[in-house]
Amino acid sequence: MWTLTWKGLLAAKARFVMTALAVIIGTGFVAGALTFGDTLEEGFENLFISIVGTADAVVRAEDPDDTRADDPFDTAVPTFPTEVVDRLVALDEVAVAEGEVEGVAILIGDDGEPTGQFGPPTIGYNAYINQELDPAELRTGRWPETADEIAIDAGTASAQGWGVGDRVGLVLDGPVERPEVVGTFGLGDLDNLAGASVVVLDRATALARLGTDGELTAAYAVAAAGVDEAQLIAAIETELGEGFTVQTAAEVVAEQQEAFGPIIEVFSIALLVFAVIALLVGSFLIFNTFTIVLAGRLRELALLRAVGASRGQLFGSVLGEAALVGAVGGALGAAFGLLVARGLQVILGTIGIELPGDLVVLPRTIGVAIAVGVVITVLAAIVPARRAVAIPPVAALTEVAVAAPAGRGLVRTVLGAVLLTGGVAALATTLLTDAGAVTLGVGAVALFLGVAALSALIVRPLARLLGGPSAALGISGELARANATRNPRRTAATASALMIGLALVSFVSIFAASLQGSVRDTIEGSFLSDAIVQSGTLAGVPDPALDAVAAVDDVEVVAAAAAGQVELGDRTVTVGVMDLDQLRAVLDLDITDGSLDGLATGGIALTESIADDLDLVAGDEVAATMPDGETTLPVAAVFDGGGIDVGAFLDTRTWGGPGGSASTVFNAYVLFDAEADASRVFAAVEEALVAYPQVRVLDQAGFADAIASQLDQFVGVVLALLALSVLVALLGIVNTLALSVVERTREIGLLRAVGMTRPQVRRMVRTEAISVALIGAALGLLLGVPLGAVFVRIEQFNITQLVLPWAQIAIGVVLAALAGLLAGVLPARRAANLDVLEALHSE
């Protein structure tokens, strides 16, 4: 039977190229996701190892709120006095020790914008006394020695075109200054730390100006000869006592890796989601190819049955074919995965997120790609194979055209109807109750499967609907429509692949447009401020910048909004921390319960969705974990959170206890004197902030645009990835049409004989391709639009309005039609170039 398998494959190799392509794209994403994850993991591991460098022990002050190490807003690092290093050096077990102070240092590019805006960390640290302990290695120049000198990482230097001798913009704790670059450095092979910009300051400047009040953030110790790690750690712990964490280099690396794990996971999961979509779309293609190829070989199969091959043997041989195609596709997919991973690195690189490491390809990745390829292909081939081998042996002897016994249409229809009904019910439940995203998700899957199962029934009416325009093309258009509905199941399966892509595209578009719409709504409705000062980096808006704005004439209020995280019950909530009076002045919150007054006395204001989730009303108390420990907060007010980007508000005094602890200020809302000329004051504020290029000032519309454009970027990336699933669907159309043309060779010969010109043949095939694409698009919209519309109603997303971006959706449909047109080109050319006589006399 294996010879049969091989022969079958070779005979139809061209047809299987398309199947293999589908497998390649699907498994490519899987392999890409794995490779990307592995690369990141190893890259970061190497990075952390090289950062720890040659030290055997790392000393840090204990973080009093260690339980909240994952708070992204908690950037303050505990510090300790420089004398600690002297105490380490004094130990017999220590050969050398070095103190380090690390903080935020923002390099300003020659364009006046911070390097690596919004993205990677901006790190500054001190030049080492024991330079052999510094993990960084000089590439050019020397280490800084005065306050007017810095060294920068070679990656940033080359990205900005800077070298030794240049004066560059730098922001530490005040306005921009322009120190001289006296050296560039790298970390081992790396020019750059994961895209972070790193600045080395001379020791005194670092201690004075990195926000640590002259203290250190870490100390590194190397063991004396003959002292092992355990002895070293024990000695240091005894010497320093309480309040310090002493770790081995390996522990520090492990800890850092753990902290980065979730980030890597997010990327990998996102990629895997697209891999699953691509595989799902691809499986339709594979299913179709096998159905058509087997339909063309029915007589051969019947003959084999007649000469004694058992059903099981034929089934095995067909599945063997599938397994081989799957394995080859999977292996090539692994190779394609490298391109995906590399491409992702490049894309992230161009938007400023440079990641370390050469591609890491584990044997596991290749194994998984091949296994997934085999499993998907075999699964997709089972139904066509079962149908094909059910052919009675006598069919080999009959003269009439042989058709595979039809599948269980009724079972399929009933199942489809049940799924569809279930899906619609889930949608309705989501809409009418607060069932949430999970119900909708289950409903969506049921809808997809239901529509896919019933699509063969929908194809005819849809084709009739879409047939109007094609009839304008005359007989070619009519024939195209007839051909598209000739084998509804085949057309449906081909169209379903595109359906998935288009459903997701319309879904994402609706979600994004609605979110943007509500954000604009809120900004227009609730934001009373005339200008918003925003931090361009994770370092936040520095106090002097706030002071500078406050000093501008006709500026009435500068309301600083810090962000922090609080755990309420089992939920982690982002809180906005503001002065109550200022909050009232700049934000017009829609209070639905209680009053903001309670914030002044230590209360918290919650959005409706969070309050509902935690079953809280104004007047209740809620257990909260704050930066300074556990406490109980009275719920002062509940407000409609639509469009507000935090889940709760606290007064500055409540945050971190009486007096309020300093948190990073990301936004400051500025209110002008109502009498003043707003554009003049706005210009004056801009002028006041010229010295702070790390912050930007936006008016209301600009602020809305900034948020919207961030969302646009995200949507752009998602749509680009979805475009790949459309590409797979396009391959499906090419495949189905090419096979149909082969099947209809004789008919095309006849049409040519009775006077159909080549252009008419081409038009006929291309129109069929477009029809299939449009059927897919229509099915996709039928699914995606309701799903999107219901999704944005889910309360926890705080989306206040439903925006149907018809233009965008229309573009999607036009693109689908264009994809169809493109998919039709090759099969159309093939059909048109058939030799009339040969075609007429083909079997």
Residues in touch with other proteins (CB under 8 A): 474-475, 479, 482-483, 486, 746-747, 750-760, 836-837, 840
Is residue 310 within 8 A of residue 756, CB to CB? The reply is no
Output the smallest distance, CB 831 to other proteins, in A: 14
Cβ-based nearer residue to other proteins, 192 or 470: 470
Cβ-based nearer residue to other proteins, 205 or 740: 740
Output the smallest distance, CB 371 to other proteins, in A: 42
Output the smallest distance, CB 487 to other proteins, in A: 11
Residue carrying the six token digits 């069919």? 395
Cα 259 to chain centroid distance, Å, stands at 19
Output the smallest distance, CB 838 to other proteins, in A: 10
What is the rounded CA–CA span in Å between residue 76 and residue 103?
9
Output the smallest distance, CB 483 to other proteins, in A: 6
Cβ-based nearer residue to other proteins, 226 or 755: 755
Tell which residue, 764, 741, 775, has the closest CA to residue 493.
775
Output the smallest distance, CB 482 to other proteins, in A: 4
User: Can you list the alpha helix ranges (DSSP code H) found in 351-487?
Assistant: 363-389, 409-432, 437-471, 475-484
What separation in angstroms does the CA of 218 have from each of 55, 184, 247?
12, 23, 11
What separation in angstroms does the CA of 127 have from each of 59, 220, 645?
18, 14, 40
Cβ-based nearer residue to other proteins, 590 or 838: 838
What is the rounded CA–CA span in Å between residue 374 and residue 362?
19
Output the smallest distance, CB 480 to other proteins, in A: 10
Cβ-based nearer residue to other proteins, 139 or 746: 746
Helix axes 758-791, 806-832, angle to 10 degrees: 150
How many angstroms separate the first and last alpha carbons of the chain?
A: 26
Residue carrying the six token digits 């355990």? 230
Cβ-based nearer residue to other proteins, 437 or 475: 475
Output the smallest distance, CB 292 to other proteins, in A: 17
Instruction: Find the helix or strand (DSSP H, E) in which 579 lies.
Output: none
Determine how many CB atoms are found less than 10 A away from the CB of residue 464. 11
Cβ-based nearer residue to other proteins, 131 or 757: 757
Cβ-based nearer residue to other proteins, 435 or 750: 750
Cβ-based nearer residue to other proteins, 520 or 762: 762
What are the tokens at 109? 């590019």
Cβ-based nearer residue to other proteins, 262 or 474: 474
What is the rounded CA–CA span in Å between residue 414 and residue 174?
71
Give DSSP secondary structure letters for 268-283.
HHHHHHHHHHHHHHHH
Output the smallest distance, CB 822 to other proteins, in A: 25
User: Can you list the alpha helix ranges (DSSP code H) found in 137-183?
Assistant: 154-160
Give DSSP secondary structure letters for 201-259.
E-HHHHHHHSSSTT-BSEEEEEEPTT--HHHHHHHHHHHH-TTEEEEEHHHHHHHHHHH
Residue carrying the six token digits 């669907």? 729
Output the smallest distance, CB 475 to other proteins, in A: 4
